[in-house]
Amino acid sequence: MEKRQGRGRPRISKLIAGEHSALYEKVITDGKQYRSLRSIADTAYVFTAASILSEAASEIEDLELLFSNQYVCRSVLNQLGRMSRSDGFSNKDVVTVAKAAIQGKKNGYSVKEIEQYIRNGRVTGEW
């Protein structure tokens, strides 16, 4: 009897790593068993955004506002990763929105406001 896929959407680790998803999840969870599927997916989206932004780091000014030793805008990175993985935006679009998020942070907007702006743009397509 063949193994059937569960109902609903496939897990993000399956979309990213394919048949190596179990190993990918083990790397994300650092071998810990208490991480939920939601926290694994959240971390996968953050890794996706971090990889896109690291490739384009030379063209993004003040990228350290999203990544610093004391604070990482995890919720903003999560939304940027979702843009790329779930919603099908191009890497160029993700970099453009990241630049806008950095500019918003410079202008004094909170991380929560920036996250809501990105989420609204992802869902409605209106920026």
pLDDT at position 90, please?
93
- For the cut 60, the answer to whether the pLDDT of residue 1 exceeds it is no
Tokens of 27: 């790397």
- For the cut 60, the answer to whether the pLDDT of residue 105 exceeds it is yes
Q: What is the C-alpha separation between 123 and 120, in angstroms, rounded?
A: 5
What does the pLDDT look like over 19-54, one tens digit per residue? 766 766 676 667 676 677 777 788 888 888 988 999
The SS3 assignment for 72 reads: strand
Q: What is the C-alpha separation between 32 and 23, in angstroms, rounded?
A: 13
Closest CA to 61 of 92, 100, 94: 100
Average model confidence (pLDDT) for the chain?
81
pLDDT at position 86, please?
83
Mean pLDDT is lowest, of 27-36, 56-65, 92-101, 108-117, for 27-36
Q: What is the pTM of this model?
A: 0.76
